[in-house]
Amino acid sequence: MGYEVSKALVTGGAGFVGVNYAKHLLDRGVEVVVYDNFGRGPGGKINCEWLSKHPNANKLEVVEGDVRDFESLKKAASGCDLILHAAAQVSVPLSMEEPKVDFEINVLGTFNVLEVARSLNTDPAVIYTSTNKVYGIPEYELVELETRYDFTGDLLGVDEKAQLKAEEPYGASKAVGDLYVKAYHNIYGLKTVSFRCSCMYGPRQWGVEEQGWVAWFCTAFALGYPITIFGNGKQVRDLLYISDVVEAFDLALDNIDKVAGLGINLGGGKENAVSLLEVIAYLEQLSGRKVDIQFTDWRPFDNKCYYTDITLVKKLLGWIPKVSWRDGVRMTYEWVKENLEVIEEVYRSKEGRSLRPMVEAAKKHG
Ligand SMILES: NC(=O)c1ccc[n+]([C@@H]2O[C@H](COP(=O)([O-])OP(=O)(O)OC[C@H]3O[C@@H](n4cnc5c(N)ncnc54)[C@H](O)[C@@H]3O)[C@@H](O)[C@H]2O)c1
């Protein structure tokens, strides 16, 4: 890494993105503090147990804490020169059911992270995992094809010139975080960067119906569970495999002076844009089985087509997604198959199958 990191705080470090980056930092001999409220069901503990078996686990500290708790967060961040802020209320449907919880975790939580970063004497870099949902529904004309929607013409996708016009609470709370991250660079000179991520997926993701659909589909195929599709399944997303995410974070640190204060799209781009029906067809082929697919009403403000233009990140960081969506889905499915016993146990519990219990618990502790 060009930017020398000696100690990192990873909020949401028991979650999918956090644990994968924490592992990568340990590989590099960085001291890591995982900070998580373990709200996301049993998967978080399993992820941390896995991390604690790392050869450099003597450099790992796991702190159970909430990003809404400023003092506890500040204590955990002591001495850190990097913060990856990945903790969040992550579900769009649940943000509509419980907007206050979503607001408190995503807005106040991000504000706390920035205030903690500002108080440190280490001048830390801060990476914020924003989302493409900050752009809301793109105003481009669509065409409906046999298995998918697409933008008309030869558009590369939504770029950073698009307005931040989130249409639902999750998009809005993440957009507020995104703007604060920029403001703290502008005003206090914090080395912050915001990645507006598309649909990330890969091993150690505990996908459920409300969030993490690729991992959820892989799990459903491996376990033979039925899948509910909201809409007709032709909705398109660009998929971003986790190893590509990790690489982008490293490159951002290498080039922190170039990217500080920016909001940058990060996704699989047009080449890795795929519909739900297409992923299902591919999983049928991989698994040699069919699962029961039920179709129900569209979710409010669900994009029929979204993929992100990755021109800026290519230009600034020389980053391109290396893992194609087919390879990524195959590796995710293989991870599920290799861990089938433990995954089956997680999905048997109500906390493993849904994020609702997490939001309920967060409401009580807010
Ligand atoms: N997965 C995606 O496709 C995707 C896409 C765009 C953006 N993002 C963003 O990336 C980040 C990571 O997402 P993920 O997929 O790893 O989700 P995840 O749910 O696997 O991880 C989030 C972690 O945050 C923890 N957490 C939740 N509320 C907390 C709180 N109040 N205090 C402390 N910890 C808390 C959870 O327990 C969980 O371990 C999030 O900020 C999310 O908004 C994710």
In angstroms, the CA 256 to CA 3 distance is 7
- Nearest ligand 1 atom, CA 197: 6
CA of 152 to the centre of ligand 1 (A): 33
Residue 147 within a domain: yes
Burial of 296 (0-12, 13-18, 19+ CB in 10 A): exposed
Closest to 31 (Cα-Cα) out of 122, 113, 112, 119: 122
> CATH number, domain at 14?
3.40.50.720
Residue range of the domain that includes 142: 7-365
In angstroms, the CA 335 to CA 342 distance is 11
Residue 158 within a domain: yes
Which residue minimizes the CA distance to atom 34 of ligand 1? 36
* Amino acid 2: pLDDT: 66
Which tokens is 238 given?
A: 């660009």
In angstroms, the CA 325 to CA 118 distance is 38
In angstroms, the CA 246 to CA 39 distance is 23
Q: Please state, in angstroms and as integers, the Cα–Cα distance from residue 100 to each residue in 38, 89, 174, 202, 341, following that order.
A: 19, 11, 13, 30, 36
Name the one residue in this structure whose structure tokens are 């008309």: 152
| Torsion sign, CA atoms 188, 37, 49, 207 | negative
Q: Which of 9, 11, 17, 107 to mutate to test the pocket of ligand 1 (most atoms within 8 A of CB)?
A: 17
Which residue minimizes the CA distance to atom 21 of ligand 1? 15
In angstroms, the CA 82 to CA 77 distance is 9
This prediction has a pTM of 0.98
Sequence-ordered alpha helix ranges (H) in the chain: 16-27, 43-51, 70-77, 92-97, 99-103, 109-119, 169-188, 213-223, 242-254, 256-259, 276-287, 311-317, 325-338, 340-348, 350-353, 356-365
Closest to 262 (Cα-Cα) out of 319, 200, 178: 178
Provide the 3-class DSSP secondary structure of residue 268: coil
Strands 273-275 and 236-241: antiparallel
Domain count, the chain: 1
Residue 240 φ then ψ, to 5°: -125, 110
Residue 1 within a domain: no
Stated as kind and residue range, the H or E segment containing 206 is none
Q: Which of 24, 50, 90 to mutate to test the pocket of ligand 1 (most atoms within 8 A of CB)?
A: 90
* Amino acid 185: pLDDT: 98
Q: What is the DSSP letter of 162?
A: S
- What's the pLDDT tens digit per position in 20-50? 999 999 999 999 999 999 998 899 999 999 9
What is the chain's alpha carbon radius of gyration, rounded to the nearest angstrom? Answer: 19
Residue 94 within a domain: yes
Ligand 1 contacts (CB < 6 A) are 12, 14-18, 36-40, 44, 66-68, 86-90, 105, 109, 129, 131, 174, 197, 199-200, 212, 362
CA of 17 to the centre of ligand 1 (A): 7
- Nearest ligand 1 atom, CA 206: 20
* Amino acid 364: pLDDT: 78
Residue 2 within a domain: no
- Nearest ligand 1 atom, CA 66: 32
Which tokens is 254 given?
A: 């290498």
Question: Tens place of pLDDT for every residue, the chain, 366 residues?
Answer: 568 999 999 999 999 999 999 999 999 999 999 999 999 889 999 999 999 999 999 999 999 999 999 999 999 999 999 999 999 999 999 999 999 999 999 999 999 999 999 999 999 999 999 999 999 999 999 999 999 999 999 999 999 999 999 999 999 999 999 999 999 999 999 999 999 999 999 999 999 999 999 999 999 999 999 999 999 999 999 999 999 999 999 999 999 999 999 999 999 999 999 999 999 999 999 999 999 999 999 999 999 999 999 999 999 999 999 999 999 999 999 999 999 999 999 998 888 888 888 888 788 776
Contacts of 132 (CB under 8 A, 6+ apart): 158, 196, 197, 198, 265, 267, 306, 308
* Amino acid 366: pLDDT: 65
Contacts of 25 (CB under 8 A, 6+ apart): 5, 8, 10, 32, 82
CA of 15 to the centre of ligand 1 (A): 6
In angstroms, the CA 356 to CA 239 distance is 25
List active site positions: 170
Residue 64 within a domain: yes
